[in-house]
C-alpha cells in the first residue's frame, strides 16, 4: 500500500482529500489527513460576525463531516516534519511515513509579533476578527461603541484575504450608519501599502469608494508598536494614530510546525514552485493554500484553483510523468461594500484586477470592480458553495482554474 | 524598458526606475541611486544592508523583503526605516540594483 499524507484539514487539505480519494484506487493508496481539532471554520464568514450578520455557530462545523469515507482522519497536533526521511511526527510521538506529502497547514495571526499589541487593551480596545474569539469580542465592543475614532490597521503583508480589511471598514460604515453613530465616528484605514489595495486599477477604484464613504486612508503606515495605555498605534517611522477602537490585522505566519521543521522562510511559509506547487526542497512534498510562500493571494478561491493543478501533478508524479506548470496565480474574490452591495475582482500573477462582467463575458450577471446587489448575493451564496462544493473538491460551474481575459475591459 | 546613464554607465531600467540587470550595478551606481532617492551619503550601515541584498538575490533569485533583511543582518526594523525611509524593502532593493521585491497580488 502506498501512502499519501495530507497535513491540515482546512479549506485546502479537506478539498484535496476528496479529490485524491476519487482519483486514486483504494486498494493501492491509503490517504491520511491530520488536523489538531475537529472544528472547521468557514473563515470568510468571520467578517460578518462583528456586524451580527452571522453568529459564531453559523461558521463552524465538524471537520470529520467533510472528510470523505476512505480517508483516515487523525485529530492530533503535528509536531515536526522530517522530509529527508519522508515522515511526520505527531504530538504524541506517533510516526507517520509517506510516499507523497501535501502540506496545507495554512497561516495564522501572531499578534505577539507587534510590540505592545497583546498588552493593555487587547480584547478590550484592540481586536482582531480573524479568529472566532476575536470576531465575537469585537461584536460585543461594536455593540457598546458610541462614536469616536475607529482605526483599522494592517500590520504587514502578506495577510489572508487581503481584501477582508477593506470590507471590514465598508461594513463598519454601513453598520454605524444604520445604528445612528456614524456621524459621531471617524473611520481610518491604515495600511503598509501605498494605496487602498495591491494593484493600481483596483487600488484607484477602491480608493474612491473609501473617499465616497468618508473613510480616511493612511498609506505607507507600517505598524511598529501599539500603546494601549495612550490608545495610539505608532509606525516604524514614528507617525502616530490615536484610536478609541482599534481593529487590527496582525502579522501572519505559517504553522509553527513549519518553523520547527526548518522548512519555511522568515515568516514560516514554504518555498514552493509558483506554477507546479511542488516544494522547492523535496520532490515528494507539495504545498497548497495559505502555507506557500507564493505571491498569489491567501484565499479559499486560490486554494480551489490550485487544487485542480495539484491533483493533476500528484497523478503525474505517481505515473512518473513530468509536472504541469498550469497554476497562474488565479484569484477571484468578492468585496462586500456595505448597504447590501458587493464588488468582485478576478486576477492572477500577471494581470491585475480589471473592470468587466463575470463569468459570462459581456453579460455577467456579476460585475467586476463595480458595486451591485447581485454581487452581494454571490458573496452570501459563497458559504453554501464552500461547504457543498468547494470542500468536496467539486467543479464550480462557469469558473475555471486558469484566469480568462474574456469580458474584461483593459 | 528604457536605458539611462547612471554614473557614466548605460543602464537598463523599467518604468518604475528599477534596474533590470543586477550585473550592470556597481558601488558608484549605488551612490548615485542614493542621491536620487534622497538618502545619500551611504553609510556603513547602508552598505551592510546592500551587501546582504546583493548576496541574497544572487542566491535566491529574488530580492529579500524587509523582514528577511532584519533577520539576517544586525540592522533592526526601526533602523531600516531610518536608513531607507517609507518603504525600506523597496528602496534597499532599488539602491542595490535589484528588481522591486514581489509584493503580494
Ligand atoms: C476574515 C477572513 C475572511 C476571508 N474571506 C475570504 C473570502 O471572502 N474569500 C476567500 O476565498 N477566502 C477568504 N479568506 C481566506 C480563506 O479562509 C483561507 O485562505 C483558506 O481557508 C486557506 O485554506 P488553507 O487550507 O490553506 O488553510 P486553513 O483553512 O486555515 O487550514 C489550515 C489547517 O491546518 C491546521 N494546522 C496548522 N498547523 C497545525 C499543526 N501544527 N497541527 C495540526 N494541525 C495544524 C489548522 O488547524 C487548520 O485547520 C478569509 C479569511 C479570513 C480570516
- Which has the closest alpha carbon to B38: B94, B99, B97? B94
- Best of B63, B84, B89, B104 to disrupt the A interface (most A CBs within 10 Å) is B104
| Adjacent-strand bridge partners of A218 | A190
**Same domain for A365 and A308:** no
CB contact under 8 A, A194 and B87: yes
**B86 in a structural domain:** yes
**Same domain for A295 and A173:** no
| Adjacent-strand bridge partners of A3 | A30
**Same domain for A202 and A152:** yes
User: What is the rounded distance in angstroms from the CA atom of residue A288 to the CA atom of residue A272?
Assistant: 9
Check if the beta carbon of residue A99 is closer than 8 Å to that of residue A2: yes
User: What is the rounded distance in angstroms from the CA atom of residue A353 to the CA atom of residue A202?
Assistant: 6
pLDDT of residue B101: 79
**Same domain for A178 and A83:** no
- With both helix axes pointing from N to C terminus, report the angle between B88-95 and B27-37 in degrees, rounded to the nearest 10: 140
**B103 in a structural domain:** no
Instruction: Indicate the residue among A208, A225, A251 that finishes a domain.
Output: A251
Mean residue pLDDT of chain A comes to 96
- Dihedral sign from CA coordinates of A152, A379, A251, A330: negative
Q: How far is A352 from chain B (nearest CA, A)?
A: 8
All cell numbers assigned to B96: 542595490
CB contact under 8 A, B105 and A156: no
Which residues have CB under 8 Å from A40's CB, separation 6+? A9, A10, A14, A60, A61, A62, A63, A66, A391
All cell numbers assigned to B105: 497580488
Instruction: Indicate the residue among A198, A221, A251 that finishes a domain.
Output: A251
**Same domain for A122 and A241:** yes
**Same domain for A65 and A98:** yes
In this prediction, what percent of chain B has a pLDDT beyond 90? 69
**B59 in a structural domain:** yes
**A326 in a structural domain:** no
**B66 in a structural domain:** yes
All cell numbers assigned to B54: 546583493
Q: A365 or A322: which carries more pLDDT confidence? A: A322
In degrees, to the nearest 5, what angle opens at C-alpha A29 toward C-alphas A24 and A35? Answer: 95
Residue B102: pLDDT over 80: no
Residue B104: pLDDT over 60: no
Write out the residue range of the structural domain in which residue A96 sits: 2-109+253-318
The mean-pLDDT minimum among A95-109, A281-295, A303-317, A365-379 falls in A365-379
Q: What are the φ and ψ backbone dihedral angles of A375, each rounded to 5 degrees?
A: -60, -40
Q: Does A331 touch chain B (CB under 8 A)?
A: yes
In this prediction, what percent of chain A has a pLDDT beyond 90? 92
Q: What pLDDT, in 10s, does the model give residues A149-204?
A: 999 999 999 999 999 999 999 999 999 999 999 999 999 999 999 899 988 889 99
Pocket test for ligand 1, best of A41, A64, A92, A105 (most atoms within 8 A of CB): A105
Which A residues 274-313 touch B at CB under 8 Å?
295-298
Q: What is the four-CA torsion angle of A385, A386, A391, A392, rounded to 10 degrees?
A: -10
**B104 in a structural domain:** no
- With both helix axes pointing from N to C terminus, report the angle between A11-23 and A300-318 in degrees, rounded to the nearest 10: 30
**Same domain for A222 and A131:** yes
Report the pLDDT averaged over residues B73-101.
Answer: 93
Atom of ligand 1 nearest to the CA of A63: 49
**A209 in a structural domain:** yes
Which B residues 60-99 touch A at CB under 8 Å?
65, 67-68, 71, 77-78, 80-82, 85-87
Check if the beta carbon of residue A270 is closer than 8 Å to that of residue A101: no
Domains identified in chain A, total number: 3
Instruction: Indicate the residue among A207, A222, A251 that finishes a domain.
Output: A251
Q: How confident is the model at residue B17 (pLDDT cuts 50, 70, 90)?
A: confident
CATH number of the domain encompassing residue A310: 3.50.50.60
Q: How confident is the model at residue A113 (pLDDT cuts 50, 70, 90)?
A: very high
| Adjacent-strand bridge partners of A102 | A6, A286
User: What is the rounded distance in angstroms from the CA atom of residue A374 to the CA atom of residue A184?
Assistant: 31
Three-state secondary-structure class, residue B71: helix
pLDDT of residue A265: 94
Report the pLDDT averaged over residues B83-91.
Answer: 92
**B100 in a structural domain:** no
Domains identified in chain B, total number: 1
CB contact under 8 A, A224 and B78: yes
pLDDT of residue A162: 92
Write out the residue range of the structural domain in which residue B35 sits: 2-95
Residue A142: pLDDT over 80: yes
Contacts of A297 in chain B (CB under 8 A): 104-105
Residue B105: pLDDT over 70: no
Q: Can you list the alpha helix ranges (DSSP code H) found in A93-240?
A: 132-144, 164-178, 200-212
pLDDT of residue B91: 94
Atom of ligand 1 nearest to the CA of A297: 19
Phi/psi region, residue B97 (left: phi>0; alpha: psi -120 to 50; beta: rest), is left
- Which has the closest alpha carbon to A237: A252, A253, A218? A218
- Best of A160, A163, A266, A294 to disrupt the B interface (most B CBs within 10 Å) is A266
Residues with CB under 6 A from ligand 1: A 8-13, 34-36, 43-44, 46-47, 77-78, 104-106, 129-130, 160-161, 164, 255-257, 289-291, 298-301, 303, 333-334
Residue recorded with cell 450577471: A365
Check if the beta carbon of residue A381 is closer than 8 Å to that of residue A44: no
Residue A2: Cβ within 10 Å count:
13
Q: Which residue in B has a C-alpha nearest to residue A251's C-alpha?
A: B67
Q: What pLDDT, in 10s, does the model give residues A270-295?
A: 999 999 999 999 999 999 999 999 99
**Same domain for A259 and A245:** no
Percent of chain A as helix, strand, coil, to the nearest 5: 30, 30, 40
pLDDT of residue B100: 83
Amino acid at each position: 500500500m502506498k501512502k499519501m499524507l495530507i497535513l491540515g484539514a482546512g479549506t485546502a487539505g479537506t478539498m484535496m482529500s476528496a479529490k485524491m480519494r476519487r482519483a486514486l484506487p483504494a486498494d493501492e493508496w491509503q490517504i491520511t489527513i491530520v488536523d489538531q481539532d475537529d472544528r472547521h471554520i468557514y473563515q470568510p464568514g468571520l467578517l460578518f460576525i462583528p456586524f451580527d450578520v452571522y453568529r459564531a455557530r453559523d461558521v463552524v462545523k465538524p471537520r470529520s463531516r467533510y472528510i470523505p469515507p476512505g480517508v483516515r482522519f487523525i485529530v492530533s497536533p503535528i509536531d515536526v516534519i522530517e522530509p529527508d526521511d519522508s515522515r511526520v511526527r505527531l504530538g504524541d510521538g506517533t510516526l507517520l511515513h509517506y510516499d507523497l506529502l501535501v502540506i496545507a497547514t495554512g497561516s495564522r495571526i501572531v499578534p505577539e509579533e507587534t510590540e505592545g499589541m497583546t498588552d493593555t487593551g487587547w480584547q478590550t480596545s484592540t481586536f482582531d476578527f480573524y479568529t472566532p474569539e476575536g470576531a465575537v469580542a469585537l461584536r460585543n465592543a461594536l455593540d457598546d461603541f458610541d462614536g469616536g475614532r475607529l482605526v483599522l490597521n494592517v500590520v504587514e503583508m502578506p495577510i489572508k484575504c487581503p481584501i477582508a480589511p477593506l470590507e471590514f471598514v465598508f461594513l463598519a460604515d454601513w453598520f454605524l450608519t444604520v445604528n445612528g453613530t456614524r456621524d459621531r465616528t471617524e473611520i481610518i484605514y491604515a495600511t503598509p501599502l501605498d494605496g487602498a489595495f495591491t494593484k493600481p486599477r483596483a487600488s484607484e477604484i477602491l480608493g474612491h469608494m473609501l473617499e465616497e464613504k468618508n473613510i480616511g486612508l493612511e498609506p505607507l503606515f507600517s505598524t511598529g508598536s501599539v500603546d494601549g495605555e495612550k490608545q495610539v498605534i505608532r509606525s516604524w517611522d514614528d507617525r502616530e494614530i490615536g484610536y478609541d477602537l482599534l481593529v487590527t490585522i496582525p502579522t501572519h505566519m505559517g504553522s509553527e510546525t513549519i518553523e520547527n521543521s526548518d522548512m519555511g522562510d522568515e515568516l514560516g511559509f514554504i518555498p514552493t514552485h509558483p506554477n507546479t506547487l511542488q516544494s522547492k526542497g523535496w520532490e515528494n512534498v507539495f504545498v497548497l493554500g495559505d502555507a506557500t510562500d507564493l505571491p498569489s493571494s491567501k484565499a479559499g478561491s486560490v486554494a480551489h484553483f490550485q487544487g485542480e493543478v495539484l491533483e493533476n501533478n500528484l497523478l503525474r508524479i505517481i505515473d512518473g510523468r513530468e509536472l504541469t506548470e498550469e497554476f497562474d496565480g488565479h484569484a477571484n474574490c468578492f468585496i462586500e461594500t456595505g448597504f447590501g452591495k458587493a464588488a468582485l475582482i478576478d486576477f492572477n500573477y500577471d494581470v491585475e484586477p480589471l473592470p468587466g462582467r463575470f463569468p459570462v463575458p459581456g453579460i455577467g450577471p456579476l460585475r467586476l470592480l463595480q458595486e451591485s446587489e447581485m454581487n452581494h448575493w454571490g458573496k452570501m451564496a459563497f458559504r453554501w458553495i464552500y461547504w457543498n462544493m468547494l470542500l468536496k473538491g467539486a467543479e464550480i460551474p462557469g469558473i475555471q482554474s486558469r484566469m480568462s481575459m474574456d469580458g474584461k475591459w483593459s | 524598458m528604457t536605458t539611462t546613464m547612471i554614473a557614466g554607465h548605460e543602464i537598463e531600467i523599467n518604468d518604475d526606475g528599477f534596474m533590470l540587470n543586477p550585473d550592470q550595478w556597481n558601488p558608484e551606481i549605488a551612490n548615485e541611486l542614493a542621491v536620487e532617492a534622497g538618502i545619500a551619503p551611504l553609510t556603513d550601515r547602508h552598505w551592510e544592508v546592500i551587501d546582504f541584498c546583493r548576496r541574497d538575490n544572487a542566491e535566491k533569485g529574488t530580492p529579500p523583503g524587509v523582514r528577511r533583511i532584519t533577520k539576517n543582518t544586525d540592522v533592526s526594523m526601526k533602523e531600516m526605516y531610518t536608513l531607507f525611509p517609507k518603504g525600506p524593502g523597496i528602496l534597499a532593493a532599488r539602491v542595490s540594483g535589484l528588481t522591486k521585491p514581489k509584493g503580494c497580488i
